[in-house]
């Protein structure tokens, strides 16, 4: 990597901030420096693009305009507002942190990185972002943009996918930051990373800091940042059960931890959990599913297959393939062993659906029409 002289550091700061002053994006959370506004936007923006976040942010602020409103929010309503944004533990941690601020800090925001990071869902990056943008503290906010931008500017060869690398970048960025405008500096780096220095289709030729971009000057930009590849999603097979009685459908409450935790969804049974002999017929599989449901939940169901190809949905680490099945439940069934309840079709829009749940419902509707 390259080292910069004090003069070059000052020149970089002036060039970057001048560009930012004239070209910064007009975003809803940039109307003021209210820590509540900065915080909500930073959490929503984790692993999520700006254009996706904007409408969610506006709706969120109308419903929960203050940290007190968020602390007192109903979880189901909170999840409905967050519906479709993904990484739902972000929303639950958001409320926990709001309660921490109200209860532990009497509604007054802590201002240090150390204190901020003790709040649920606030890690090194978000603590740095809030401290610098809302409280003008001279601390770095090292996100994916900062890692990519400085890896290129300085030809840093460390793997940005490794957690340890963040500390190295923090120390480097501390020396490059202006003490008087840390929040603007951090945000300028993000705007740069979202435009001229994006991951793909970057345009260094026209970048305001192209003369500071060593990788560009050396013609080796394609080599930066150094980043190891992610593993590909593992296939997982499920049977999805649409158990209904007129307009009521049986929903299962997912466990309190793990993927899509606490959501109401059509019952899913892992394909691996259904044991059948090698040359089992389709009917054998359906009977095995019924036996499984009876032994697990004491529920007597009758299952029939729905035509059409399975519903597929890919997460970061899993690729689900769901075979949809329609089922009826014995009228006199006792649900006390089943972690779920009946939900009327007319109430579906009241509760938060995950994407894969929506896919299952839409596919079922399509099949019924045929």
Partner DNA sequence: CAGTCGTGGCC
Partner DNA sequence: TGGCCAAGACT
- Interface with DNA (CB under 7 A): 25, 27, 29-30, 41-42, 45-50, 52, 84-89, 93, 120-127, 129, 143-145, 148, 162-164, 187, 190-191, 193-194, 198-201, 227, 229-232, 258-261, 313-318, 354-356
Contact 249, 242 (CB under 8 A): yes
3-state DSSP assignment of residue 197: coil
* Gap between the Cα atoms of 307 and 279, Å rounded: 21
Catalytic annotation on 42? Answer: yes
Looking up tokens 């479709």 gives 84
* Gap between the Cα atoms of 227 and 157, Å rounded: 9
Comparing CB distances to DNA, the nearer of 109 and 315 is: 315
Q: How far is the CB of 129 from DNA (least distance, A)?
A: 6
Q: How far is the CB of 271 from DNA (least distance, A)?
A: 17
In 3-state terms, the chain is what percent helix, strand and coil (to 5)? 50, 15, 40
Token representation of residue 245: 């009685």
3-state DSSP assignment of residue 66: coil
Q: How far is the CB of 172 from DNA (least distance, A)?
A: 17
Q: Kindly report the three-state secondary structure assignment for every residue of 138-152.
A: CCCCCCHHHHHHHHH
* Gap between the Cα atoms of 86 and 315, Å rounded: 10
Q: Which of 42, 83, 155, 252 is catalytic?
A: 42
Contact 305, 327 (CB under 8 A): no
Q: How far is the CB of 120 from DNA (least distance, A)?
A: 5
Residues acting as catalytic residues: 42
């Amino acid at each position: 990597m390259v080292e910069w002289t004090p003069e070059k550091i000052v020149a970089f700061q002036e060039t970057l901030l001048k560009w930012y002053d004239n070209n910064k994006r007009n975003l809803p959370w940039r109307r003021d420096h209210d820590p509540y506004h900065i915080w909500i936007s930073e959490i929503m923006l984790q692993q999520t693009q700006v254009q996706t976040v904007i409408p969610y942010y506006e709706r969120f602020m109308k419903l929960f305009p203050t940290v007190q409103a968020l602390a007192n929010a109903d979880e189901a309503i909170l999840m409905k507002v967050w519906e479709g944004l993904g990484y739902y533990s972000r929303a639950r941690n958001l409320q926990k942190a709001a309660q921490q601020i109200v209860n532990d800090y009497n509604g007054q925001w802590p201002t240090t990185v150390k204190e901020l990071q003790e709040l649920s869902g606030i890690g090194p990056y978000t603590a740095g972002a809030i401290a610098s943008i809302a409280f003008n503290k001279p601390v770095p906010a090292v996100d994916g943009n900062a890692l990519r931008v400085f890896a290129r500017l300085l030809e840093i060869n460390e793997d940005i996918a490794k957690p340890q690398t963040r500390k190295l970048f923090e120390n480097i960025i501390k020396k490059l930051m202006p003490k008087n405008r840390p929040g603007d500096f951090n945000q300028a780096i993000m705007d740069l990373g979202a435009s001229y220095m994006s991951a793909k289709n970057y345009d260094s030729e026209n970048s305001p800091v192209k003369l500071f971009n060593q990788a560009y000057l050396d013609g080796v930009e394609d080599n930066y940042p150094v980043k190891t590849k992610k593993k590909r999603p593992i296939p997982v097979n499920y049977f999805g059960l649409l158990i209904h009685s007129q307009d009521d459908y049986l929903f299962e409450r997912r466990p309190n931890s793990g993927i899509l935790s606490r959501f109401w969804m059509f019952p899913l049974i892992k394909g691996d959990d259904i044991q059948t002999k090698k040359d089992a017929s389709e009917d054998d599989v359906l009977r095995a599913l019924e036996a499984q449901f009876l032994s697990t939940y004491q529920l007597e169901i009758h299952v029939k297959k729905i035509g059409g190809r399975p519903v597929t949905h890919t997460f970061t680490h899993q690729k689900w393939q769901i075979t949809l099945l329609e089922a009826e439940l014995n009228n006199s069934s006792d649900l006390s062993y089943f972690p779920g309840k009946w939900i009327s079709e007319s109430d579906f829009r009241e509760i938060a659906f995950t994407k894969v749940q929506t896919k299952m419902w839409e596919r079922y509707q399509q099949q019924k029409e045929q």
